[in-house]
Each structure stands twice: as structure tokens, then as C-alpha cells.
Structure 1
Amino acid sequence: MTPQKSPRLDRKLVADTALRLLDEVGLDGLTLRAIAAELDVKAPALYWHFKDKQALLDEMATEMMRRMDSAGEPPVGDWRKAYRAAMHGLRAQLLRYRDGARVYSGARFTDTSYAAGLDAGLRLLVDAGFTLTAAARAWYTGYSYTIGYTVEQQAMGPNPFVGEAGYDLEARAERLAAHPLAAAAGPVMFGDFDEGYAQGLEAILVGIDTWRTGRA
């Protein structure tokens, strides 16, 4: 019987395997040793492709970006509608992975696959009357808000990957009984994350529109 050949080990295979394993073990449990075991190789074999875990996280984030770009359409039309769609789309993609926003946060992309989408988004804002500086600030503000909000959501909200219910709001309210407003704010902050994100993004849209009109 001919032995079955293992797939050739390369950066894409390692990153794809790491993203798949991420959903099972989370970012804290994702180690080069665990990935090597999943690939049936020795851990040192991975160091030919990635010098450390951060280098692997950078490649994982880049692969996430590639998948986002292949799944979405470039922003066109009304700038507000396109801006909303781009940011909601980013959040939806990050939520596809356990701890996806933590992987993505602070990563340095390993290629320029992100550039076409960024260029199209900035062009849309510039054509709508933003200066390039205001357009860049507007895009990065929404981008940073989306990543940060999603990091908090994945830390505090329900975890569909392991079936956890999320923050115990009743227990929180009991602990904060002496601080009624803080206690009552719990369901707003940690209840409906979709609504919370959408309302926050609308507040950002109102703010960045002042940069476009020169009222800031």
C-alpha cells in the first residue's frame, strides 16, 4: 500500500490550519506546538516560515483580510451607506472566528491585499468632499472602533464556539446594587451587541460628517 503524502508545508497551509484551530482552542490556547501537532510535523518545521507567534498572527490576519476582500464588493454609491457597509462587513468577518478581533488587532499585514479596498474607500470619501486627511481619519476611526468593539464583544458576550452565555448581567447588577445607574447600564452595554455597535457607528458618522462640511 502506497503511503499517503502529506500536503506541502507552506505559509498558507500553516495560516489556514491556525485559523481552523483558533475556533477550537481560542487565541490563548493557540500555540506553534499545537499547530504543528495538527499538521503532523515537529514544531521547529514552522520556524522555517514564521519566526515567532506574532509573525504567524500577522499572516493569519492577512489571510482574514484576503477572505474579506474576496467576499465583499468595493464601496460605491452614497458614502454613508458604503461606510456603514464596510464597517459592518469588517465586524461580521471578525465574528466568524473565535477571538478573531484579537488576532486582527495590531497585526501588520504581510502583503498589500488590503490596499485596493482601502484605496476604494478613501476615494469614495474624497469624491464626497473629504480632504484626504479627513478621509483617512474617518476611515481609521471607524476601523479602530469596529475592531475594539468586537474585541469587547468576543470577550464579554456569548461565545458560540464553546456555548458560553456571556456576561452574567444579574450577578453584575447584584454586585452594583449600591450604584443604581451603573447597574442599570449593564443590559445596554452588554446586552444587544448588534444594536450597540450600530448606534455607536451612527454617532461616528455624525462626527466625521463635520470634517466633510468643515464644521469641526
Structure 2
Amino acid sequence: MGTERRAPLDRERVAGTALRLLNEVGLDGLTLRAIAKELDVKAPALYWHFKDKQALLDEMATEMYRRMAAGTALDPADSWQERLLKANRGLRAALLGYRDGARVFSGSRFTGTEHAPALEANLRLLTDAGFTLAQAVDADRTANAYTIGFVIEEQGMQSPPGRPREGVDIDERTRRLAGFPLAAAVGGLLFDDYDRQFEEGLSLVIAGIGTRYGIS
């Protein structure tokens, strides 16, 4: 009688399982116990690889980045504006690929060095365009923070994923705010067409960076 050999329990397998489970239960339902059950092991076994949930989230964020970066290539002909646009569009798309993806990514630290080549290239592009290194860091961080914050809000307004959260009814909101005509009129701008919202906001951020540092 043969026995089926399971894949060894390692950080990559745990993080991959956690990301898969994340799409089912969301971040609030993602516990080490639930992950252990999914892996058919006892919860203490996970502590050989992760000292706490935040350490696991760091590995999950790193795995998300690995998957996002796989097969993508940077265009050396990019302007700094184009690079920030492409990088943050890609980041948003990656975060939206997971339920609560932006919440997992926010505040996490990468456990590997896979991000270093792109970071080096982006900083080099920005400094070659005339930014000081400190300005390049601030520019990249600001665009990155905008994207993560936007997606946190975007995903928070959709429950389940891809559908407006219960209670977000634009027509009802318009009626309720009838005494405030401008506030009533912007429901569709605030709670609909997140692609347009994101693109406009990112363009504002990038234009602001250029104006702030006098670099076109």
C-alpha cells in the first residue's frame, strides 16, 4: 500500500497557502491555526518558520512581490514619470489580485532581496533625471504610499471583492444629501470607476513631485 508524500513544510509553502486562504477568509479570518489546518499540521509547526503573524505577513508580502515581478522587465527608455506610472499601476494590479492584498502589503518588510534590482534601477533613473537621492526616495515612497492607501480604500469599499460594500448606494446617498447639492452630486466620483480615480490621483501625485523639485 503506497503512501502519498507531502511537500516539505517550508516558508514558501506556508506563505503560498496563506495567500490562497487569504482570498477565502480575508485578513481578519487568516489565523495561524487556520493556515495550519489547511496544511494539515499542528499550529506550533508554523512557529519553526515564523515567530508571529507579522513575520508571516512579511513573507506573504514578499511572495506577492515575487509573483508581481516575475517576467516583468523595466524599460530603460522610460522617463521618471513613466516609470512611476508603470510601477504603481503594476503594484495596484498585484494588490487587487488578493483579498485584502493592500492591507497585507502595508507595513510589511520584504524578507528577501528580489526587490533590490528594481529599486536600484528606479533610484538610478530618478537621480539621473536630476533628483537627489533623498528626493528620489521621497518621490518613490510618496507614489507607493498613494497606491497602497488607495487600494486599501478601494478594497475596503468592496465586500465581497469586486462588488460594492453593502450600504454604499449612490442613489440613496444623493437623496440623503439633497440639502447639500455639491456633496450629493459627487457620489459617482467618490464610489465608482476606481480605475479613473486611481489614474487621476497618481497623475496628480507625479505632477506634484515634478513641481516640488522643479524637474520636468
**Pair 1:157 & 2:158 matched:** yes
In the alignment, what sits opposite 2:4? 4
| Alignment gaps of 5+ in structure 1 | none
In the alignment, what sits opposite 1:124? 125
Look up the SS of the partner of 1:38 in the other structure. helix
Asked if the contact 2:18–2:30 (Cα under 8 Å) also holds between the matched residues in 1, the reply is yes
Asked if the contact 2:60–2:104 (Cα under 8 Å) also holds between the matched residues in 1, the reply is yes
Offset of residue 75 of structure 1: 4.8
Look up the SS of the partner of 2:70 in the other structure. helix
In the alignment, what sits opposite 1:63? 63
In 2, Cα distance between equivalents of 1:112 and 1:9: 22
Q: 1:9 to 1:47 in 2, by over 3 A?
A: same
Could you list the per-position Cα deviations for residues 119-169 of structure 1 after superposition, in whole angstroms to 9, with x for gaps in the alignment? 111111111111112111110010000000000000113644xx6333322
Letter in structure 2 aligned against 1:2: G
**1:135-174 → structure 2 map (5 Å cutoff):** 135-157=136-158, 159-160=160-161, 164-166=163-165, 167-174=168-175
Could you list the per-position Cα deviations for residues 34-91 of structure 1 after superposition, in whole angstroms to 9, with x for gaps in the alignment? 1111111111111111111111111100111111221422253222112211110111
In 2, Cα distance between equivalents of 1:111 and 1:84: 25
Q: What is the aligned-residue RMSD (CA, Å)?
A: 1.7
Please identify, of 151-160 and 135-144, the stretch whose mean Cα deviation from structure 2 is larger: 151-160
Look up the SS of the partner of 1:72 in the other structure. coil
| Alignment gaps of 5+ in structure 2 | none
In 1, Cα distance between equivalents of 2:7 and 2:199: 43
In the alignment, what sits opposite 2:99? 98
Q: 4+ residue runs of structure 1 moved beyond 6 angstroms? A: none
In the alignment, what sits opposite 1:39? 39
Give the TM-score normalised by the residue count of structure 2: 0.92
Could you list the per-position Cα deviations for residues 174-211 of structure 1 after superposition, in whole angstroms to 9, with x for gaps in the alignment? 33333332222221011110000000111111111124
Please identify, of 2-11 and 76-85, the stretch whose mean Cα deviation from structure 2 is larger: 76-85
In the alignment, what sits opposite 2:205? 204
Look up the SS of the partner of 1:98 in the other structure. coil
**Pair 1:113 & 2:114 matched:** yes
Q: 1:158 to 1:199 in 2, by over 3 A?
A: farther
Asked if the contact 1:130–1:211 (Cα under 8 Å) also holds between the matched residues in 2, the reply is no
Offset of residue 8 of structure 1: 0.5
Letter in structure 2 aligned against 1:35: I
In 2, Cα distance between equivalents of 1:178 and 1:52: 50
In 2, Cα distance between equivalents of 1:94 and 1:151: 9
Percent identity over paired residues = 56
